[in-house]
Amino acid sequence: MSHTKNQHLNVRLLLAAFFIVALTACAPAQPTAVPATQPVATVEPTKPPTAPPSPTPQPTPAAPTTNLADSCVETYNADVDYFPEKVTVEDATGFVVEYFKHYKVVTVLKPWRGAEQQFKYVIVQCGTPKPTDIGDALVIEAPVKDVIAMSTTQLPHLEKLDLLDRLLGLDSFQYVNNPKVRTLIDAGALVEIGSGAEVNIEKTIAAEPDLVMTYGVGDPQYDAHPKLLEAGIPTILNAEYMEGTPLGRAEWIKFTALFFNREAEAQLEYAAMKKRYQEVAEKAKAATTKPTVISGMASKDKWRVPGGGSYAARLIIDAGGAYLYADDTSAGSLSLTFEEVYDKAVKADVWLLTSFQRYDSIKAILEAEPRYAEMAAVKNGNVWNYDKRVNENGGNDYWETGVGNPHLLLADLVKILHPALLPDHELVFWRQIPAAP
Amino acid sequence: MKVSAPSGVGQAAKPLADPFPPLGIRRSVLVGLAAFALLAFLLSLAIGSVPIPLAEVVHVLLGGQASEATWQTIILLFRLPKAITALLAGAALSVAGLQMQTIFRNPLADPFVLGISSGASLGVALVVLGGTSANVTVFGRTAYLGDFGLVTAASLGAAAVFAVVLAIARRVQSVVTLLVLGLMISYLTSAVVSLLIYFSIPEQISAYINWTFGSFGGVTWQQMRALAPALLLGLTLALLTAKPLNALLLGENYAASMGVNVRAARWLVTASASLLAGAVTAFCGPIGFIGIAVPHLCRALFGTSDHRMLLPAALLLGGGLALIFDLISQMPGARAALPLNVVTSAVGAPVILWIVMRRQSFGQV
């Protein structure tokens, strides 16, 4: 893979990196696609394509019936629709896509909480000309040949689209759970470029990614994209975390697919996931009781609970639980006083901890904070944490496989709240905390 | 020993320009301050985000049973330890700030500005984040390491920084140099903390950052068994430093000539101030501005620089104000809560500005 190649070319790449930095320092910030390996559109007719005969009377090659997932256009025809397979967005509210004949425009509507800015990306079929009237939008040539993923939540999408062989690097190796990606890491096939504002620009330039997929929080102190874009690296924001519903988050597989022309696969994968999610939700509706649920944990005298309009709240509600803050409408989390939450939580049937700290027993929780002792869930032993699958560095698979597979998250919660409804389901992410070690 | 009016002006006291009224302990003022602290204490028991009728609060405090079991818990396990912590911590920070302002002859000295709190933060960070990149469960150790471990780490960190500042302060006389020194020590310790953070997982970092917001409400009764004795011991030691501090106001030579064992006095001040700042920082996080603002408020309100008056006054006013700050941060009626440091800074910064505008000169303590 490119990593070993890089080792041989180390010196030359460093020099190249130096020149690229020097060049981009002089050039405007608009990132340029790396054209070196792209075939220039040729004028003379090439070999006749192997595609079936064209229904149109044009002498040029026939219109493709599928998206070009692995190749470029060799002879461009302005009348041909190069994206016969398109995505349709059903549940995600954070991006919209518009298709044109040889390019598509995707807009990230809510890149972070309170963002006033939207990000527009023009994805151009490689081998076709760049559209001219697109302002200063970032242009990406599709299909992208390799990608650096800056969040573990992006990995399940790449895996489902069968694109892990295009993975060039990650922000950090530490938090990865996906066994296939771990194998790639162990084989030395990936580069590690660092997270957020600590991103290593030189390493990234040397890796020559076609695409870096990151996320933003709107604070230059934590965000990687301002630095990466300034260095001329094609960098896009994936704002899946801003979605308020589990299905909405999972649907960002279609966003990822756009850059690889894998629309057909994304449509199928998402439809299957949604169907499974709805099947589980349907089962949960059969429940005769609605256990009350409290989530999160106090830190000193503050207790951060998911807002009633949040992703976590939606999962609890869909799983047939009565979430204590369901009447709230905020999509983020609420920072409340311990006293205020305690007043409600003391009667909750189920306590979902969402703690990164691994507690071996309820006894250990009470040693750290004895004030939980009176809670009904503590007394009944109905305390759960989502730490069943956490790697040795603290990377939680809930935020990797889980986010990409909402039906698994939902099935887990249904199993916790209504065990009789899913007798055969084995918990994937959640673990019941025993009363004593 | 008869205390001969140290005027509170720096080394070169000008007898004619003494802006301060005569010294002495004004008992009526201290009684008034004690009443203020008591009132603030009772208010913070009565007011919270969960509305509980005043009659119920009084009933529970007198040993009765509330009509709702939850109220009983909220008053006895949430509000009472929080109020005691705020009272003690506010007193401790104010007294430590007063001691430092005198010993450094610097009106801007406080546990925060001179880097003492940073030292305590470093101690806590080493315990909370230290050596953790390999293992998530390590953070869990703080719970088992014991609360005394946390206090010890914070106090040692505070004492180490304090000792360094004090050692250098003996060689350099300039106020500005000392401030720069404190600033540099803060940067150094925060560099080490940042390094630890860099190798920690995001949730651990958020736990640490949460700690830096400052809070009185995290102290449970079990932790109170470590915090209260530490602070009471520190406050007692501090009250013993009133006379040496009065003498030190006029310089070390003057103090020595008055029969004060300067070395022992410095040691006592160092020990009590580090213990106070370290223990508060360990349990409540670094809390800004109380330590710097309250001593100035006391001097200005009561027109004295006699530590026999200032120490108990700062203790009572600091305790009462900390309770009020905490009440404001809970925003009665609202469900959400502001970080404590937001409130202390919002109130503390104008006080410091007021001092600067009023005094014109920094040289006077």
ipTM of this predicted complex? 0.74
Which B residues 136-155 touch A at CB under 8 Å?
136-137, 139-140, 143-144
Instruction: Find, in chain A, the residue whose alpha carbon is nearest to that of B132.
Output: A393
B33: β partners:
none
Q: Using an 8 Å CB-CB cutoff, list chain A residues near B215.
A: 300-302
- How near does any CA of chain A get to the CA of B87, in Å? 16
- How near does any CA of chain B get to the CA of A304, in Å? 10
Q: Using an 8 Å CB-CB cutoff, list chain B residues near A359.
A: 140
Q: Using an 8 Å CB-CB cutoff, list chain B residues near A374.
A: 69-70, 73
Answer yes or no: do B220 and A338 touch at CB < 8 A: no
If one compares A64 and A175, the residue with the highest pLDDT of the two is: A175
Q: State yes or no: pLDDT of A40 exceeds 70.
A: no
Answer yes or no: do A301 and B215 touch at CB < 8 A: yes
Alpha carbon B43 to its chain centroid, in Å, reads 21
A219 in contact with B, Cβ within 8 Å: no
Say what the pLDDT of residue A261 is: 96
Q: State yes or no: pLDDT of A42 exceeds 90.
A: no
Residue A87: half-sphere exposure toward Cβ, Cα within 13 Å: 31
Say what the pLDDT of residue B206 is: 67
Q: Using an 8 Å CB-CB cutoff, list chain B residues near A342.
A: 70, 73-74, 78
Residue B102 has which token pair?
A: 């005198």
B-interface mutation test, from A172, A294, A339, A388, most B Cβ less than 10 A away: A339
- How near does any CA of chain B get to the CA of A337, in Å? 6
Q: What percent of chain A has pLDDT over 70?
A: 86
Answer yes or no: do B49 and A337 touch at CB < 8 A: yes
CA distances from A157 to A40, A247, A253, A434 (A): 32, 13, 5, 34
**Beta strands A350-352 and A431-432, pairing class:** unpaired
Lowest mean pLDDT among A22-36, A96-110, B96-110: A22-36
Q: How many residues does chain A have?
A: 437
Helix or strand or coil: residue B249? coil
Say what the pLDDT of residue B149 is: 63
If one compares B101 and A57, the residue with the highest pLDDT of the two is: B101
Answer yes or no: do B139 and A337 touch at CB < 8 A: no
* Of residues A198, A370, A392, nearest to B220 (C-beta): A370
Say what the pLDDT of residue A49 is: 44
Q: State yes or no: pLDDT of A362 exceeds 90.
A: yes
Say what the pLDDT of residue B150 is: 64
CB atoms within 10 A of CB B39: 13
Nearest to A331 by CA among A239, A234, A259, A431: A239
Weakly modelled stretches of chain B, pLDDT under 50 = 1-22, 131-146, 361-365
Say what the pLDDT of residue B67 is: 86
Say what the pLDDT of residue B151 is: 65
Helix or strand or coil: residue B9? coil
Q: State yes or no: pLDDT of A184 exceeds 90.
A: yes
Residues in CB range of A278: below 8 A, 6 or more apart? none
Answer yes or no: do A337 and B70 touch at CB < 8 A: no
Q: What is the average pLDDT across A322-348?
A: 90
Answer yes or no: do B336 and A334 touch at CB < 8 A: yes
Say what the pLDDT of residue A51 is: 47
Amino acid at site B17: A
Say what the pLDDT of residue B332 is: 62
Say what the pLDDT of residue A92 is: 95
CA distances from A71 to A140, A141, A261, B242 (A): 15, 11, 10, 84
Which B residues 7-66 touch A at CB under 8 Å?
48-50
pTM comes to 0.77
- How near does any CA of chain B get to the CA of A346, in Å? 8
Instruction: Find, in chain A, the residue whose alpha carbon is nearest to that of B50.
Output: A340
- How near does any CA of chain B get to the CA of A113, in Å? 18
Helices (H) and strands (E) counted in chain B, each on its own, are: 16, 0
Which A residues 388-417 touch B at CB under 8 Å?
390, 392-395
Which B residues 58-117 touch A at CB under 8 Å?
69-70, 73-74, 77-79, 82
Say what the pLDDT of residue B195 is: 80
Q: State yes or no: pLDDT of A30 exceeds 60.
A: no
- How near does any CA of chain B get to the CA of A384, in Å? 17
A109 in contact with B, Cβ within 8 Å: no
Say what the pLDDT of residue B286 is: 83
Instruction: Find, in chain A, the residue whose alpha carbon is nearest to that of B147.
Output: A368
Residues in CB range of A390: below 8 A, 6 or more apart? A358, A396, A397, B136
pLDDT tens profile B154-193: 778 887 887 887 787 777 766 677 778 778 888 888 888 7
Say what the pLDDT of residue A337 is: 87
Lowest mean pLDDT among A134-148, A295-309, A422-436: A295-309
Say what the pLDDT of residue B24 is: 63
Q: What is the average pLDDT across A42-55?
A: 46
Q: Cα(B286)–Cα(B278) distance, rounded to whole angstroms? A: 9
Which A residues 221-240 touch B at CB under 8 Å?
none
Across the A/B interface, how many CB contacts are shorter than 8 Å?
A: 102
pLDDT tens profile A117-168: 899 999 999 999 999 888 889 999 999 999 999 999 999 999 999 999 999 9
If one compares A228 and B195, the residue with the highest pLDDT of the two is: A228
